[in-house]
Amino acid sequence: MHGTITASGIVDVGSGWYRVWISGTPDPTDTSIFCDFFLSDAEDADLSVGAPSYVGVGGKDAFVWGAQVELGSSPTSYIKTTTAAVTRAEDVATIDDVSFHNEPEGTYFTEFQVPNSSDYDVVVEIANGGTDRIIVAAKHSSSNAYGLIIIDGGVTLTNLSGGTVPNDTKTKVALGYKLNDVVVYADGVSVITDPGVTMPTVAGGKLYLGNNVAGSLDMTGHIARITYWPRRLANSILGARTSAFLAPPANDNGPMLAANDNEPFLMVVNE
């Protein structure tokens, strides 16, 4: 395959194993794609002149498992195959019990990462059907901005966007809400405000992580954590919580995990 490499990464998944991935755009004249794995003594091996040389080290081995080729700008979870191509449903998650959600006021904090794409990514949505919904999105309407949508009784009260979502970079976002006082902070800065909005009734609904109630806006990316407070935190706290230099709260610790990669993520509900 000839083409252009657009991104790559390596993730330590423990016990001496690493997940290595690369994405790129093939040459439009290519009619097939194949992948080879090489070890090389040279840091920059030139494959155009043949397979690279590797002397190796006695007693040390390299094991390769789970090779996968797929369409997209970022890797998904492992899809087991044999001699034929296989598809499976997208990785999505929902929480059926939303009794923790305080309708008059509250705060959602989330840390996530999305790739360089034009996808409309819903990070978190709490909804009771399609008529009462609170949606926090990234790349709102393909504008590369953070987004907030509030629907109460089937009426869209807020559909705002602001700021710029960083590509392939962890970002921290907080939504503080109560009657006529809604704000979204991203990485320490206020990006969306709405001083005149009511709160929808979502009791009996669900919390959607990386997806929406319609199942049509799946997130392409990773969610590290979601934290909830049943009170509207002050703007100064929202700014501090989302600042890149601030350590996680004492009861909100956890590594950056790929929620859409069949790994656990952290959700904390504070009193």
Task: Examine residue 86 and state whether it is found in any structural domain, yes or no.
Answer: no
Query: Does one domain contain both 155 and 251?
Result: yes
In degrees and rounded to multiples of 5, residue 147 shows phi and psi of: -135, 150
Greater pLDDT, 157 or 26: 157
Map tokens 């709260």 to a residue: 249
Residue 179: what pLDDT?
94
Q: What is the mean pLDDT of residues 17-36?
A: 82
State the total domains in the chain: 2
Contacts of 216 (CB under 8 A, 6+ apart): none
Q: Average pLDDT of 197-215?
A: 90
Is 88 inside any structural domain? no
Q: What's the pLDDT at 268?
A: 58
Strands 189-194 and 182-186: antiparallel
Report phi then psi at 241, rounded to 5: -65, -35
For the stretch 88-106, pLDDT in tens is 776 678 899 999 999 999 9
Examine the pLDDT at 231 and tell me if it is beyond 90: yes
- Residue 73 in any domain: the answer is no
More confidently predicted of 46 and 248: 46
Residue 35 sits in the same domain as residue 101: no
* pLDDT (tens digit per residue) in 59-93: 777 888 888 888 776 677 788 888 888 877 766 78
Using the 3D structure, point to which of 68, 101, 122 is the last residue of a domain.
68
Predicted pLDDT of residue 118: 60
- Residue 72 sits at the vertex; the CA angle it makes with 69 and 73, to the nearest 5 degrees, is 110
What count of other Cβ atoms lies within 10 Å of the Cβ of residue 219?
27
In a domain, 76, yes or no: no
What does the alpha-carbon distance between residue 43 and residue 39 come to, in Å, rounded to a whole number?
Answer: 10
Shared domain check, 220 and 138? yes
Domain that holds residue 51: 1-68
Residue 243 CA to residue 187 CA, distance in Å, equals: 5
Q: Rounded mean pLDDT of 172-180?
A: 95
User: What is the rounded average pLDDT for all residues in the chain?
Assistant: 81
